[in-house]
A and B are shown apart, each in its own frame.
Chain A
Amino acid sequence: QQPVQSPQAVILREGEDAVINCSSSKALYSVHWYRQKHGEAPVFLMILLKGGEQKGHEKISASFNEKKQQSSLYLTASQLSYSGTYFCGTEDSNYQLIWGAGTKLIIKP
């Protein structure tokens, strides 16, 4: 079952923070986060494995609450390069990721 991402879209000024949420109705083994720019391949950001860990990548970090079957992606002091559509992929069984519908992030100067 497809994970639900929220919000569907967000518009920020450069330097502002954003949070993107991903929730599933199933128990999860991992959550993968990707960013896709228009006409380009999705680019890997991070994987969170069950265990409630939090990871960071530059000014982008994420958390995974396996009990709530939720993950959140945090973008701090957003830059213009952060614009794009963010997808979470959830894994509830071997190897297969189910992708959310995406959150479109627009950063304005």
Chain B
Amino acid sequence: GAGVSQSPRYKVAKRGQDVALRCDPISGHVSLFWYQQALGQGPEFLTYFQNEAQLDKSGLPSDRFFAERPEGSVSTLKIQRTQQEDSAVYLCASSSSGAGYSNQPQHFGDGTRLSIL
């Protein structure tokens, strides 16, 4: 399909395990965003890539969270030594807007629902 694809759709992990969440953005989209969404809340910004460059990681909650986009396309969000408070839906979005103000929409994937037991 032509949309943003995220995998896995659901992930259950035991506390202390490492997890990796994948995002396949719309082909050609320069910008890629990761968000964390708690139940009943709006998405909270985690990090932003412009092509392969991670321009902003100010929203990552701790150094256990790491994101990469090595070839400027697929991105992976990795969480090490997971804790129960990491349980949330992780959304990825891509946009054709580059640096500068957003005059193009962000297209979201369906998200990965992460549950830490």
Contact = CB atoms under 8 A, between A and B. Distances in A.
Main secondary structure of the interface of B (DSSP, over half): loop
A91 interface: yes
A47 B40 CA distance: 23
A95 B96 CA distance: 11
A1 interface: no
Interface in B90-105: 91, 97, 99-105
B106 A97 contact: yes
Interface in A74-109: 87, 89, 91, 94-102
A95 B62 CA distance: 22
Interface string B79-117: 000000000000100000101111111111111000000
A98 B102 contact: no
Interface size class of B (residues with CB under 8 A): 20 to 34
A102 B39 CA distance: 11
A40 interface: yes
Given A32-B106, A40-B110, A91 B101 contact: yes
A30 B101 contact: yes
B45 interface: yes
Given A40-B110, A41-B111, A42-B91, A99 B44 contact: yes
Interface in A27-85: 29-30, 32, 34, 39-44, 47, 49
Interface of B: 4, 31, 35, 40-45, 48, 50, 55-56, 91, 97, 99-111
